[in-house]
Amino acid sequence: MVLLEKNIDFALIEIDLEEKPDWFKKISPYGKVPVLKHDSNIIIESSIINEYLEEVFPKKPLLPLEPAKRALARRWIDFSNVRLIPYIYKLMLAQNIEAQNFNAKKLTQALLMMEHDGLGLTSSGPYWLGEEMGLVDLSFLPHLQRICVLEHYRDFYMPEECVLLNAWLQLMSLRPSVNAVSSEKSELIKNWSKYAFNTSTGTTADDMRDY
Ligand SMILES: N[C@@H](CCC(=O)N[C@@H](CS)C(=O)NCC(=O)O)C(=O)O
């Protein structure tokens, strides 16, 4: 989405995560996508890739220019990595009801904080930091799109009071960059069954399992 938003030319190579090619294992130390190759540079980790693209292709900036606002953007990108994403995976992987309830509670707390301290406080909208869509929006989006998978497998729903979050999700879903890379709900449900039934042999499940 960052590449599309910034109009950067790129070639996309999809990886079969069940059978990772050797060349891919050599450049991806954790065996994870995405990996960016630019000139002779190999960059991993979505947030680091995004900031690299922002620095190398500054046209159409996706981070604010003012340092305090940049720090605020990075705070929410970190929130996504540390306080949101792990609970989505952990809730999905958890097989017993206690672990499911625990992770559902943590995820609810994260969503409420995003609603009240994020969209409710940091901007007058419609995007995370104001009128311009940016890296915070793009960092959160794919993960919030997966709530529908949690509805399906775990009966977990976005809290009703997350009105701003739902409106933001609707707005984001209208963007061409988002449409270009989004999967159908049925596809997401199919792809995530390996987490829901805890049968994944991949590195992400291995990282996110609590035992
Ligand atoms: N922190 C990484 C996480 C990337 C990640 O979890 N990628 C998953 C796919 S969404 C993956 O490649 N997993 C490989 C596996 O499970 O073997 C990032 O943001 O780039």
What's the confidence (pLDDT) of residue 122? 83
Residue 124: what pLDDT? 81
Ligand 1 atom closest to residue 206's alpha carbon, by position in its atom list: 16
Domain locations in the chain as residue ranges:
2-56, 67-196
Interacting residues of 88 by C-beta distance below 8 A, sequence separation 6+: 107, 143, 146, 150
User: Can you give the pLDDT at residue 44?
Assistant: 98
Pocket of ligand 1 (CB under 6 A): 17, 31-34, 45-46, 202-204
Evaluate whether 195 touches 205 at the Cβ level (below 8 Å).
yes
Cα–ligand 1 centroid distance for 80 (angstroms): 14
Is the Cβ–Cβ distance between 139 and 77 less than 8 Å? Answer: yes
Output the pLDDT for position 74.
98
CATH of domain 2-56: 3.40.30.10
* Domain 67-196: which CATH number of 3.30.420.40, 3.30.450.40, 3.40.50.720, 1.20.1050.10: 1.20.1050.10
- Identify the pLDDT of residue 114: 97
pLDDT of residue 76: 98
Give residue 121 CA to ligand 1 midpoint distance, Å. 30
Query: In the chain, which stretches have pLDDT less than 70?
Result: none
What integer pLDDT is reported at residue 83 of this predicted model? 98
Instruction: State the pLDDT at residue 211.
Output: 79
Residue 125: its pLDDT value, please?
82
